[in-house]
Amino acid sequence: MATLSGLWFNLSALQQDALILTALLAPVFLLAGLLLRGIEVEGLTRALLWRYRWTNTLFAALMALSVGLGIAVIAQERALRHGAARAADKFDVIVTAPGDKVQALLSVVYLQPSNLPLLSGDVLARLQADTRIDLVAPIAFGDSFDGAPIIGTTAAFVSHLAGGMLAQGRMFATTGEAVAGASVPLPIGTHFAPLHGFLGIGRHTGHSAAGEAPHVHTGSGLEIVGRLPPTGSPWDRALLVPIEAVWLTHSLGGGHSEPAAHALAWSGASQVGAGNPKIGPPFDTDHFPGSPAFVLHSTSLAANYNAQRRYNDARSMAFFPGAVLSELYSILGDVRETLSLMAILTKILVAVGILSGLVALSKLFARRFALLRAIGAPKRFVLAIVWTYAFWR
Amino acid sequence: MPDLSIRNLSVHTGDGRTILRVPALTLPAGGSLGIRGPSGAGKSTLLHAIAGLTAAEGEVRWGETDIARLGEAERDAFRLEHMGLIFQDFLLFEELSALANAALPACFLPRQQRPAVRKRARALLERFGVPPQRRGVATFSGGERQRVAVARALSTDPHVILADEPTASLDRDNADRLVSELTALARAGGRTLIAVSHDPAVIAAMDRVVDLVDGELRG
């Protein structure tokens, strides 16, 4: 038994599928073999199929369409779940201000525009002081370029997203540099100016003031210096910049105590990266402009659980994206059931279609089937004609 | 070749009404019998009872075999091996060629018998002047279609031919030609021929004629 099990798991998914299909079809072929034993139905069936070829083609196309739609609906739903889970893979624990977890998840992982309240320096202080967490990455949104959201974060988190290695180029090293997601259609070396908000979406994101119209941040030039490998998440279509670049762009300071950063930001320098202000952790909690979310990562599962418990309090909300997705799925459970029901109904309709087709066929050919019986054809022959016609149809 | 004999044959409807009663009727091997009578007299019912297509009480004996007592599958096999049936409205498959129609029984005969059936069907069609490979049976004239149907009935070289109003859908010339061919083929092969018909020409060509009135045999 163990050997068989081993053999089975050594097979590729395609081979396993082929074997399952063969096992499912084997009884059909066995019955067909028994039914067709010693009789010739091909000629008559072929002639009948050819005579009603247009009707048969239409019938087959309709059945294929209904089955295809049923499968596509279910496959889409599964793909959505799979994609959603995959996108959240790199986000072990998310910390935001207390509020709606689903909204926070949609903003941080799926980059859906929303107004998340900012977490202040005291939360940052606790997180930065926590030695049990391997990675603390603030996340900031609010700008975009050519439809791609610009996300401010740390080089360590970008590296974590990339699985340790960028697909192209290098990591950003100054506030004037960016790393493009795998699906961003801009080559390395492209210079761009962030647009505040999202054109066409009609909402401001992150810490933008509600009602503020989208506008280009003049004097905020950025250059793409690297590209992420595909992550299968919405972050593939984002432009990732040092979080300090987002803060400076919005004249919020640089998150560090160096005066140069402040001076640059407030003096309207020609480029965010001018003067090379410090980027990355540790951030100065006194000069921390705020961040709508932090992503935490620890190599230990237990450390992640502990972090989620510790930072889930009155000042912050910590959650596992997977757990929120599960809640979301349970809310969407009815949709899944509806889709499944629709798929089942489609299959029933197909079955009814096939059977009604057979009944219509039987009525149409009733006299000639009676003739076949009269001249000595066994019942099996007539049955074989009906079923082979239905099968090839 | 055995005689065909009927003893105390009766057919009843579902509500128990008797629609056919034949106390005794014997037809020697190679003989021909014409059955005439008004519509609804039970002529086709008698033919179907002989062929085992209708549930009947009594005895329809061909040699040692009592057809009325056979099981369904045995009756199918008996008809296939010993009987050839011809119908008023031909009942051909329009999708098939003349030859495929005439050799239709080959599709469910044992494999070793199939070539002989196809050869015989081809020879019969050629004898009747119908091109074997011709398609579009629906476009054939009535006479041609009935000749294809006769070729189908004779393709298995049956011992008994049962013809139900074989000329009813034909004009006079075609009807006369068909009767002539059918009787010639029956006599040449020593086959027993039973024909139900309103057509005097068919009845006149038979060795013996019986009348059927209200399900009762006379004559």
Calpha distance A1→A14 (Å, rounded): 22
Express each pLDDT in A151-200 by its tens digit.
999 999 999 988 888 898 999 988 889 999 999 999 999 898 887 654 43
Q: pLDDT class for B208, splitting at 50, 70, 90?
A: very high
- Between chains, do B76 and A39 touch, taking CB under 8 Å as contact? no
Q: Is A56 helix (H, G, I), strand (E, B) or coil?
A: helix
Q: pLDDT class for A268, splitting at 50, 70, 90?
A: very low
Residues of B with CB under 8 A from a CB of A: 51, 53, 72-73, 76-81, 83-85, 87, 91, 93-96, 100, 104-108, 110-111, 114, 152-153, 156
Burial class (CB in 10 A: 0-12, 13-18, 19+), A77: middle
In the block, residue with structure tokens 């009727």: B25
Instruction: Return the ∠ at Cα A293 (arms to A168 and A291), rounded to 5°.
Output: 95
Express each pLDDT in A236-267 by its tens digit.
999 999 988 888 877 777 677 765 444 444 33
Q: pLDDT class for A217, splitting at 50, 70, 90?
A: low
Structure tokens, A229: 């490998």
Predicted confidence (pLDDT) at residue B84 exceeds the cutoff of 90: yes
Q: Is B59 helix (H, G, I), strand (E, B) or coil?
A: strand
Q: pLDDT class for A360, splitting at 50, 70, 90?
A: confident
- Between chains, do B80 and A375 touch, taking CB under 8 Å as contact? yes
Q: What is the DSSP string of A285-319?
A: GGG---BSEEEEE-SSHHHHHHHHHHT-SSS-EEE
Give the closest residue to A307 by CA, choosing from A178, A135, A162: A135
Task: State the best of B54, B70, B89, B95 to mutate against chain A, taking most chain A CBs within 10 Å.
Answer: B95
Q: Letter for the amino acid at B116?
A: A
List all residues of chain A from 46 to 65 with a beta carbon under 8 Å from chain B. Answer: 47-48, 50-51
Minimal-distance CA residue of chain A relative to B92: A368
Task: State the best of A41, A375, A385 to mutate against chain B, taking most chain B CBs within 10 Å.
Answer: A375
- Determine the pLDDT at residue A47: 87
| Region of poorest pLDDT, from A72-76, A267-271, A273-277, B59-63 | A267-271
Helices and strands, number each (H, E), in chain A: 14, 12
Q: pLDDT class for A1, splitting at 50, 70, 90?
A: low
Of residues A47, A367, A378, nearest to B95 (C-beta): A47
Express each pLDDT in B24-66 by its tens digit.
999 998 899 999 999 888 999 999 999 999 889 999 999 889 9
Predicted confidence (pLDDT) at residue A83 exceeds the cutoff of 90: no
Chain A residues with CB inside 8 Å of B108's CB? Answer: 39-40, 376-378, 381
Express each pLDDT in A44-73 by its tens digit.
888 888 888 888 888 788 778 877 877 887
- Determine the pLDDT at residue A208: 43
Predicted confidence (pLDDT) at residue A219 exceeds the cutoff of 80: no
Calpha distance A179→A192 (Å, rounded): 12
Cβ–Cβ under 8 Å, residues B103 and B155: yes
Maximum separation of any 2 CA atoms in chain A, in Å:
105
